[in-house]
Homo-oligomer: A and B are copies of this chain.
Amino acid sequence: MSAELLDLYERMAVIRGTEKAAHDLFMAGLVKGTTHLAAGHEAVAVGASAALRPDDYVFATYRGHHHAIARGATPEECLAELMSRDTGVCRGKGGSMHLTKASASMLGSYAIVGAHLPMAAGAAWSAKLRGTGQVAVAFFGDGATNIGAFHEALNLAAVWRLPAVFVCENNLYMEYTPIGTVTAVPNPAADRAPAYGLPAEVIDGNDVLVVRDAVARAAQRARGGGGPTVIEARTYRHYGHSRTDPARYRPEGEVAEWLARDPLLVARKAVGDGAAVDAADRRAQATVRRAVEAARAAPPADPAQALTDVWADGGAAWRT
């Protein structure tokens, strides 16, 4: 039994539990707006994080709970954000779609599809110019591969040989529409990599070790001056696109097949030691329980916060 794998399992379980809690809190009317659960995608976030340095930059999407937590945002501050608490990781100003933990180099969750890929290229450019050896990673969906920013970012990163890693979480669907119906190639990210002279891998995104290893290879290449890599991690979301979506458009057989390949099950099997995994599950549950309690007990977001933080001086004044 590998201690590292068990640890990765527990991290995934914490994410799973946190999102389950978010879902329940939504149903209880304590979370407003919308959420895009990443349940099923945990291995991508946890595997990648295991391969990265703490100061490597991460950019994620509106479906970003797993990345925020994998990079070091606490379940409590994430749930508090969703529940509009003053202790939320963005003080209630971001919400589910914008979880950000800058102190852990998790530089944001962005809700305009594809927009963060150029930002990641820019962070990689900055790392290169400053000579820090940092890598910048962008996580994005299959649907994001058809938007212009994807193209521009990959070309720029390739030409400037930037230390960037582009990780597509291909979960087969955009919101409700299968990616295959609107994309001209079978692997929406990997099949585009040659257009930028970039290496690509299609990997099993539900196996945390496979993800870890692929990201490690890409990060090493990036740090060594070898430029960007495209990784297409095949995975699946357990819930619908967002809280309003029952996801009926997905064939039953497909859902069952992927649930059987749940990243937690895959990791559980790989650990081999059922008792150890059960113990990890219990620890994860306790972590989540404490987080829920703390978030519930936290003070509500402060309306005065609405008029701060537009400018670097902390304020929002636009006129004299």
Query: A: which residues have CB within 8 A of B?
Result: 146-152, 154-155, 158-159, 181-185, 191-192, 194-198
Contacts and interface: CB of A to CB of B under 8 A. Distances in A.
Given A146-B155, A152-B146, A191 B182 contact: no
Nearest to A114: B148
A149 B152 contact: no
A184 B155 CA distance: 6
Given A147-B151, A155-B184, 19 more contacts: A146-B151, A148-B149, A148-B150, A148-B151, A148-B152, A150-B151, A151-B151, A154-B184, A155-B182, A155-B183, A158-B184, A159-B181, A159-B182, A159-B184, A184-B197, A184-B198, A192-B195, A194-B194, A195-B195
Contact of A148 (B148, B159, B182, B191): B148
Contact of A184 (B147, B149, B183, B196): B196
Contacts of A159: 181-184
Task: Give this chain's copy count.
Answer: 2
Contacts of A147: 148, 151-152
A225 to B, nearest CB: 16
A65 B195 CA distance: 31
A55 to B, nearest CB: 27
A85 B275 CA distance: 87
A183 B194 CA distance: 12
11 contacts: A146-B151, A147-B148, A147-B152, A148-B148, A150-B151, A154-B184, A159-B181, A159-B183, A185-B194, A185-B197, A191-B194
A196 B159 CA distance: 21
Contact of A195 (B148, B149, B181, B194): B194
Contacts of A183: 155, 159
Nearest to A186: B197
A182 B159 CA distance: 6
A131 B158 CA distance: 41
Contacts of A198: 184
A91 to B, nearest CB: 33
A151 B149 CA distance: 9
Across chains A and B, which 10 residue pairs bring their CB atoms closest together, nearest first?
Answer: A148-B148, A151-B151, A158-B184, A195-B195, A184-B196, A184-B197, A192-B195, A146-B155, A159-B184, A155-B184
Nearest to A191: B195
A148 B152 CA distance: 6
